[in-house]
């Protein structure tokens, strides 16, 4: 094991012991916020610290066994102990490296998923609807909850733009690589000559801001408008100006919520979405110098910019970032997204491990 990695592990182990002592301190226990933050940090470093303790224990056992080999009467027993200790070390070292990988602080958060029709007109809007259904079915399989935030219906169906909140454990961790331009190749329903058309949509996955004070927003920077919902109607058609649109004047970021019949609830949800957008923009700006984050950028929605292509005539899905091709498009569009999500996550983890090994 490299000295730099061992130094990190020693530091983390020392920090775990320090946190354990602090959590037992009555003064810390009386400070709710500090106790919560330390408990959260403890939960993050404890698995790594315990694994490192098992690793150093195995190292000591190996050292003891090698010393015992010099004694002829203990040689056979010592050799068995040496082999066992070496096997334990071989198992624990890659596990330590995996646990040492930097954690994305957003991984456990809920998300706002935004799907927008790009190039392709009515067909792009229809595809936006298909993408949303795919994500909603996947969320259902994961037992996540979903809430419609806002929608702009396409002229022939689908969505010009739609925003949905997804609530559950580890939502961002599984969906964060969905951000980008998604290209579709298929014969539109309006195509009389059977020609394949290419359209595109953009998807943005925004981690939900954890608390109101996480991203400080000056109330004077906001313009809040109310309007009547433009939903599809029905027996619960909105007859009051309960929908809310909030404009953040310094950045010109606009959010709206029209799903609830209560203006108060719509305003609260719109504020949460605004925070998430501003937080995501700030994080993206801070990360702009990291080349690996380029594959998470949404792009303009142009056909030529894409992270993934959905070819319906060939029942083929291709993720261009990792050269993944699956001839299971119909299955994936029905919500079986793990077979795309898992390879993306594994590739990202492999990149992190490679970077860790180069340190």
pLDDT band with cut points at 50, 70 and 90 for residue 210: low
- Residues 119, 120, 121, 124, Cα dihedral to 10°: -90
CATH class for the region spanning 3-100: mainly alpha
Give the integer Cα–Cα distance in Å for 359 and 348: 17
Helix (H) or strand (E) holding 321: none
The residue length of the chain stands at 359
The Cα 274–Cα 258 span in angstroms is 14
pLDDT greater at residue 129 or residue 265: 129
Spans of all domains in the chain: 3-100, 111-348
pTM: 0.66
pLDDT value, residue 235: 45
Q: What DSSP character marks residue 157?
A: B
Q: Could you say which DSSP state residue 344 is in?
A: H
pLDDT on residue 292: 44
Give 228-271 pLDDT, tens digit per residue. Answer: 766 544 444 445 678 888 898 888 888 888 876 778 888 888 88
Report the b/e string of 18-41 with b at 16+ CB within 10 A: ebeebeeeeeeeeeeeebeebeee
In this prediction, residue 103 has a pLDDT band, given cuts at 50, 70 and 90, of: confident
Task: Give the CATH number of domain 111-348.
Answer: 3.30.70.1660
pLDDT tens, residue by residue, 258-312: 876 778 888 888 888 888 888 877 777 655 544 343 344 444 444 445 899 999 9
Q: Give the chain's mean pLDDT.
A: 84
Confidence of residue 74 (pLDDT cuts 50, 70, 90): confident
Fill in the DSSP letter of residue 232. -
For residue 231, what pLDDT is reported?
54
When mean pLDDT is compared across 92-96, 116-120, 254-258, 303-307, the lowest value belongs to 303-307
What kind and span of H or E run contains 317? Answer: strand 316-319
Answer yes or no: is pLDDT of 149 > 70: yes
How much is the pLDDT for 44?
A: 84
What per-residue confidence (pLDDT) applies to 173? 92
Give the per-residue pLDDT at 4. Answer: 76
Does the pLDDT value for residue 321 go beyond 70?
yes
Residues 274, 279, 285, 288, CA torsion sign: negative
């Amino acid at each position: 094991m490299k000295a730099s990695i061992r130094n990190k592990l020693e530091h983390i182990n020392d920090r775990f012991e320090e946190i354990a002592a602090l959590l037992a301190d009555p003064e810390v226990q009386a400070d709710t916020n500090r106790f919560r933050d330390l408990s959260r940090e403890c939960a993050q470093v404890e698995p790594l610290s315990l694994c490192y303790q098992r690793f150093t224990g195995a190292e000591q056992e190996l050292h003891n066994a090698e010393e015992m080999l010099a004694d002829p009467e203990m040689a056979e027993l010592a050799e068995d102990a040496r082999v066992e200790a070496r096997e334990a070390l071989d198992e624990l070292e890659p596990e330590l490296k995996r646990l040492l990988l930097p954690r994305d602080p957003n991984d456990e958060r809920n998300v706002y998923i935004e799907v927008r029709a790009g190039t392709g007109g009515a067909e792009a809007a229809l595809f936006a609807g298909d993408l949303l259904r795919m994500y909603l079915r996947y969320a259902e399989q994961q037992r996540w909850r979903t809430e419609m935030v806002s929608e702009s219906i396409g002229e022939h169906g689908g969505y010009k733009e739609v925003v949905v909140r997804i609530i559950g454990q580890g939502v961002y961790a599984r969906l964060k690589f969905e951000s980008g331009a998604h290209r579709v190749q298929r014969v539109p329903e309006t195509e009389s000559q059977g020609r394949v058309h290419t359209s595109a949509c953009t998807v943005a996955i925004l981690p939900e801001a954890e608390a109101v004070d996480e991203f400080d927003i000056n109330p004077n920077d906001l313009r809040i408008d109310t309007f009547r919902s433009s939903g599809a109607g029905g027996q619960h058609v909105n007859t009051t100006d309960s929908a809310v649109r909030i404009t953040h004047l310094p950045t010109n970021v606009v959010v709206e919520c029209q799903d609830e019949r209560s203006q108060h609830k719509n305003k609260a949800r719109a504020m949460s979405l605004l925070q998430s957008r501003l937080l995501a923009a700030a994080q993206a700006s801070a990360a702009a110098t990291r080349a690996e984050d380029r594959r998470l950028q949404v792009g303009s929605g142009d056909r030529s910019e894409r992270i993934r292509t959905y070819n319906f005539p060939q029942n083929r899905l291709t993720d261009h970032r990792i050269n993944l091709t699956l001839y299971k498009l119909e299955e994936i569009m029905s919500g079986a997204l793990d077979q795309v999500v898992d390879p993306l996550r594994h590739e990202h983890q492999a990149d992190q491990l490679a970077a860790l090994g180069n340190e």
